[in-house]
């Protein structure tokens, strides 16, 4: 057993926490059980100057408790009540955490991703204790208090958040009327804005009262640029041209060129129209999705209070430069990285967009503020140390580039299908050229053969139909408030097997609420609640999350709420990070003076213990509850009171936590029923993550991310790490590289992975995932990296997205089987016809066969399709097997009609009294091909699922047109075909249709056929050896880099 050292490498990039851990390995076959590793963290709050101390585990089930060091630690949990209760205090310092091998989180990143913080240096100037220049106080107050853009409330939100806030405001106003306190303004809400340049320290020595002059601003702006992250601007024209790239598109373009060379302008126009249709639909859909996201950014414009030339002015965030002095107060979103310079300042700052942790952190003078963090309480001045891409957020966003712009999964499938069909076309043409060589066929005729086989052999309408189908699905999802930024993400989502989800704000509400309180024997819960609320802030502006949770909980205690307004606050002392409690002196309705305190449970208990000896029975029960709540991840607060002239009374413990969203449990349950495995990835402590997972019905095998050993530490072989990630239900205390690596490992194991997130810390993994989903309220970096953006809160939209994507997959699968079968049908028939008989159908009729095949099935985008109960994947061997069998049967059917008409003439055979052979073949091919979609669209018999009226109508219209072509002999000199002959063709085609439907049904439900077409190789020893090698290489390179840094 070893204790890791306390401390962290100051060069790391990630703001984080410190802790000590004890690690014990346990033997056993079930290596992924909760007993894999037991680590316990506890704060010894009997000594206010103590650091963290290792103690015996109080929970044998693998629960973990975390604390922050109190000594010398300025930046601790926003609610240091947690330190005694055993809950994590997020981001204890601006230092990265230690991995088991002593490596920082930043050093755990791949080498190309590492980013480093500029070294913090002490400010050598004195900050203002009040707004600069008393003559400008009035202007400063007006500037700071100007209204800022408000968040737009999204419909479909969770619970009655707005109503809750209004209830609290009304309660506070009622309490104010008793206390004669001044009214405060409503808390304002703002949103964040979106090569690293180090700023010399001398440029940061700005006079805090005067700020920068205009000339200094211009100089710095020319050097460091605007305070906005650089976004890769995509050329719309190049984007449009990209839709003309791909194997199928190349064949279509070659066919168009060949048609132009033959001066076959009808074919040329049709092919070009199909190419333009595909490109236009795809481009417009993705452009509209991007426009929606851009509009979201515009509605979240950010302004800041900046000191310039001795005046406080309101500036847009993009105009801020290094060295600027910013005024921060309640509700401010920090627009850049900076250093606090105000004496005795105390801020509570929400950094969840960066670290993913739900609680705010405390900040004092010389502590670092990060861009996109928000001030929850307090007021201070800050000197800007980094802007734009040089900020922590900017550097973290650059990690997205490491994920690369990989080719989409669906694009690979389509390109693979197109390539195989292209090869078959080439082979068919080689056979035709060989036969033509012995027949001395004219070159012009040979070019006609080439054009015909090219048009029929490659599904020219495939890109257009597929793009239209996904665009229709994207439009439907947009109505459900899910914006699809990349159409191929819809197909990927249909096959997603594992969903890696952020916890805070996605699975949970991202706001604290009270749990079931523990009352000391003889204490009334209403008395406990009254005392707790009396020791809470009465501010509406910058109301602390803990106090807000207490006030909201009053609705469950109507008696306490009624009595509370009768108390008068005489003196109130906000949370003191030294004594770790809040104190309020109040006057009861009976005129008694009572001192009320709430805070870290053991510190509150210590206050009572110093006054008088607490009975052992009460002491033991109290401590047991503290430990139990800590092991379950609750942030608990002790409550006590003292009536003047009497001794202190310990009342009980109030547990609070970030509860799951009201719809999350139902959403998780439905997602599991749809075959999804959900893994929680959170920056919170393991105990909190496990309790949240338990409440949601998820698996509770949640481990500390350090166990992965991805930063150079750890001794598990690579294959075991892969097994570990695959079996775990989630990981806690994760940083961006952990999320990225988990997604990467799962993808290497062959899974399709979706990732949800909202913060800057989620952007790399969102980009890496097969489907990245930015949830409601996500940062610009997360939205830019995601494939789908949810505008509605929570995860409920993902169920609609899953079902819709699987319906779209079903439609595309049916169409592709149908279209490959058609290509094979025509290629086999016309190839043999040319080779054996040296004949070819009129080119215009061939083009119309291709048009009819695709125009009719464009309506499949609106077809009634079921959604699969499990994730779906492209089983290409099975797809090709079904398509090949159907294509051969279609070719045989057409060949029978052709040969009987040729052999028997006009008066005998299957079809009699026909006008021109080409017209009859055109009708027979059109009918059997159009009806084929009714077979491939069903999972069972073709009558088991009723098609949509759009699809039925489209097929019927095409059938009528094909019949008219045949009757009137269009494109063949007007040679008409009798009605009787047409009816014979219809009847024969229907017989072929029924026969193929029977064969297709037998093959679809045949276990033997499935085994033949779905061989899945087991993971061999060579794969596990490769996994071991890759992880060893990563660890070795990290150690090597560490050594290089230390030697340097």
321-358 confidence digits (pLDDT tens): 999 999 998 878 888 899 999 988 888 888 876 765 66
Q: Which residue bears the tokens 């900040």?
A: 363
Strands (E), 423-577: 482-484, 498-502, 513-514, 518-519, 568-576
Query: From the centroid of its chain, how far is CA 598?
Result: 38
Phi, psi of 40 (to 5 degrees): -130, 135
Instruction: Report helix angle 601-611 to 616-631, nearest 10.
Output: 170
pLDDT confidence bin for 146, thresholds 50/70/90 = very low
pLDDT at 359: 67
The β-bridge partners of 212 are 308
Over 90: is that where the pLDDT of 995 sits? yes
302 close to 191: Cβ distance less than 8 angstroms: yes
**C-alpha to C-alpha distance for 461 and 272, rounded to whole angstroms:** 11
Is this prediction's pTM over 0.75? no
Of the candidate ranges 230-239, 285-294, 690-699, 1025-1034, the one whose mean pLDDT is the lowest: 1025-1034
Separation CA 793–CA 777 (nearest Å): 8
Structure tokens belonging to residue 457: 């052999």
Residue of higher predicted confidence among 33 and 699: 699
Question: Both tokens of residue 903?
Answer: 């052999």
Please give the average per-residue pLDDT across 604-618, as a whole number: 90
Q: Structurally, what CATH architecture does the domain formed by 513-610+644-655 represent?
A: 3-Layer(aba) Sandwich (3.40)
pLDDT in tens, 843-870: 778 878 887 877 777 788 888 888 888 9
CB-CB contact of 380 with 208 (8 Å): no
Cα distance between residue 43 and residue 17, in whole Å: 14
Are the CB atoms for 24 and 38 separated by under 8 Å?
yes
Adjacent-strand bridge partners of 719:
none
Domain ranges of the chain: 135-165+187-231+302-398, 428-456+807-1013, 513-610+644-655
Q: Is the dihedral of CA 353, 354, 358, 362 positive or negative?
A: negative
The top-scoring range by mean pLDDT among 297-306, 317-326, 934-943, 1039-1048 is 317-326
Say how far apart CA 284 and CA 236 lie, in whole Å.
10
Q: Which of 695, 355, 650 is nearest to 513 (CA)?
A: 695
* CA–CA distance, 765 with 757 (Å, rounded to integer): 9
List active site positions. Answer: 502
| Architecture of the domain made up of 428-456+807-1013 | Up-down Bundle (1.20)
865-893: pLDDT as tens digits: 888 889 988 888 889 999 999 999 999 99
∠ Cα 909 914 918 (to 5°): 100
Q: Which pLDDT score is estimated for 996?
A: 93
CATH code: domain 135-165+187-231+302-398 is 2.70.150.10
């Amino acid at each position: 057993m070893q204790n890791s050292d306390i401390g962290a490498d100051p060069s790391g990039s990630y703001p984080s926490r410190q802790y000590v851990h004890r690690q014990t390995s346990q033997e056993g076959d079930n290596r992924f059980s909760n007993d894999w590793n037991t680590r316990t963290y506890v704060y010894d709050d009997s000594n206010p100057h103590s650091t963290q101390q290792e103690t015996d585990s109080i929970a044998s089930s693998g629960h973990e408790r975390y604390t922050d060091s109190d000594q010398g630690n300025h930046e601790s949990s926003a609610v240091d009540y947690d330190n005694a209760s055993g809950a994590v205090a997020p981001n204890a310092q601006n230092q990265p955490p230690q991995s088991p091998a002593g490596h920082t989180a930043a050093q755990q990143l791949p080498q190309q991703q590492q980013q480093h913080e500029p070294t913090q240096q002490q400010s050598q100037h004195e900050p203002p204790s009040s707004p600069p220049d008393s003559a400008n106080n009035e202007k400063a107050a007006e500037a700071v208090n100007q209204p800022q853009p408000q968040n737009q409330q999204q419909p479909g939100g969770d619970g009655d958040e707005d109503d809750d806030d209004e209830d609290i405001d009304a309660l506070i106003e009622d309490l104010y009327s008793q206390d004669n306190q001044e009214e405060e303004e409503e808390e304002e809400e703002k949103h964040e804005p979106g090569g690293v340049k180090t700023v010399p320290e001398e440029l940061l020595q700005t006079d805090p009262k005067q700020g920068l002059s205009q000339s200094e601003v211009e100089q710095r702006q020319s050097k460091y640029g605007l305070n906005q992250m650089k976004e890769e601007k995509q050329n719309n024209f190049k984007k449009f041209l990209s839709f003309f790239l791909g194997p199928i598109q190349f064949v279509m373009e070659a066919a168009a060129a060949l048609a132009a060379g033959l001066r076959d302008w009808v074919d040329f126009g049709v092919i070009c129209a199909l190419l333009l249709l595909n490109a236009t639909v795809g481009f417009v859909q993705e452009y509209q999705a991007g426009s929606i996201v851009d509009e979201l950014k515009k509605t979240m414009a950010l302004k800041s209070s900046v000191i310039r030339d001795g005046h406080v002015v309101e500036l847009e965030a993009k105009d801020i430069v290094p060295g600027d002095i910013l005024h921060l107060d309640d509700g401010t979103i920090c627009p850049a990285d900076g250093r606090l310079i105000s004496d005795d300042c105390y801020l509570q700052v929400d950094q969840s967009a960066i670290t993913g942790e739900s609680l705010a952190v405390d900040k004092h003078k010389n502590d670092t503020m990060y861009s996109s963090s928000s001030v929850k309480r307090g007021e201070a001045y800050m000197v800007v140390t980094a802007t734009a891409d040089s900020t922590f957020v900017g550097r973290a966003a650059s990690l997205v580039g490491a994920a690369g712009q990989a080719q989409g999964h669906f694009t690979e499938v389509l390109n693979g299908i197109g390539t195989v069909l292209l090869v078959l076309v080439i082979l068919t043409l080689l056979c035709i050229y060989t036969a033509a060589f012995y027949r001395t066929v004219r070159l012009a005729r040979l070019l006609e053969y080439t054009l015909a086989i090219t048009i029929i052999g490659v599904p020219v309408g495939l890109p257009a139909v597929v793009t239209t189908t996904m665009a229709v699905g994207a439009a439907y999802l947009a109505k459900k408030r899910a914006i699809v930024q990349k159409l191929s993400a819809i197909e990927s989502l249909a096959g997603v097997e594992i969903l890696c989800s952020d916890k805070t704000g996605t699975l949970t509400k991202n706001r604290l609420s009270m749990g079931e309180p523990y009352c000391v024997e003889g204490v009334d819960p209403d008395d406990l609640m009254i005392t707790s609320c009396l020791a809470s802030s009465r501010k509406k502006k910058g109301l602390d999350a803990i106090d807000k949770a207490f006030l909201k909980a009053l609705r469950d205690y109507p008696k306490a709420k009624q009595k509370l307004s009768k108390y008068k606050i005489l003196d109130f002392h906000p949370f003191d990070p030294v004594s770790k409690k809040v104190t309020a002196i109040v006057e009861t309705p009976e005129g008694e003076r009572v001192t009320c305190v709430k805070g870290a449970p053991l510190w509150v208990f210590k206050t009572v213990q110093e006054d008088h000896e607490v009975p052992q029975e009460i002491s033991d029960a109290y401590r047991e509850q503290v430990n139990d709540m800590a092991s379950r991840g609750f942030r608990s607060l002790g409550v006590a009171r003292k009536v003047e002239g009497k001794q202190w009374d310990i009342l009980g413990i109030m547990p609070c936590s970030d509860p799951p969203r009201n719809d999350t449990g139902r959403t998780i349950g439905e997602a599991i029923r749809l075959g999804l495995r959900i893994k929680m990835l959170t920056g919170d402590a393991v105990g909190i993550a496990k309790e949240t997972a338990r409440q949601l019905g998820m698996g509770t095998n949640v481990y500390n991310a350090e166990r992965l050993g991805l930063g150079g530490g750890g001794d598990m072989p690579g294959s075991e790490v892969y097994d570990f990630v695959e079996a775990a239900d989630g990981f806690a205390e994760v940083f961006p590289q952990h999320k990225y690596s988990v997604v990467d490992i799962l993808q290497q194991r062959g899974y399709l992975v979706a990732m949800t997130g909202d913060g800057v810390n989620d952007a790399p993994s969102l980009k890496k995932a097969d489907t990245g989903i930015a949830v409601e309220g996500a940062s610009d970096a997360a939205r830019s990296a995601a494939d789908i953006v949810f505008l509605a809160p929570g995860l409920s939209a993902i169920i609609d997205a899953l079902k819709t994507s699987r319906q779209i997959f079903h439609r595309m699968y049916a169409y592709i089987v149908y279209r490959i079968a058609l290509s094979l049908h025509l290629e086999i028939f016309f190839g043999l016809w040319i080779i054996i008989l040296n004949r070819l159908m009129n080119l215009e009729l061939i083009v119309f066969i291709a048009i009819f095949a695709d125009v009719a099935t464009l309506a499949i985008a609106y077809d009634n399709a079921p959604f699969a109960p499990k994730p779906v994947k492209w089983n290409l061997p099975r797809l090709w097997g079904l398509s090949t069998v159907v294509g051969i049967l279609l070719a045989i059917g057409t060949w029978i009609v052709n040969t009987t008409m040729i052999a028997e003439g006009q008066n005998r055979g299957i079809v009699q009294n026909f006008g021109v052979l080409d017209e009859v073949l055109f009708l027979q091919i059109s009918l059997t091909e159009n009806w084929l979609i009714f077979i491939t669209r069903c999972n069972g018999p073709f009558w088991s699922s009723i098609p949509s009226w759009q699809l039925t109508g489209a097929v019927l219209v095409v059938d009528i047109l094909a019949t008219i072509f045949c009757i009137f002999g269009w494109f063949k000199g007007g040679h008409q075909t009798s009605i009787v002959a047409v009816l014979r063709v219809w009847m024969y085609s229907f017989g072929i249709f029924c026969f193929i439907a029977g064969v297709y049904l037998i093959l679809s439900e045949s276990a033997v056929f499935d085994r033949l077409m779905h061989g899945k190789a087991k993971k061999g020893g060579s794969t596990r050896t490769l996994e071991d090698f890759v992880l060893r290489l990563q660890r070795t390179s990290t150690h090597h880099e560490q050594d290089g840094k230390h030697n340097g």
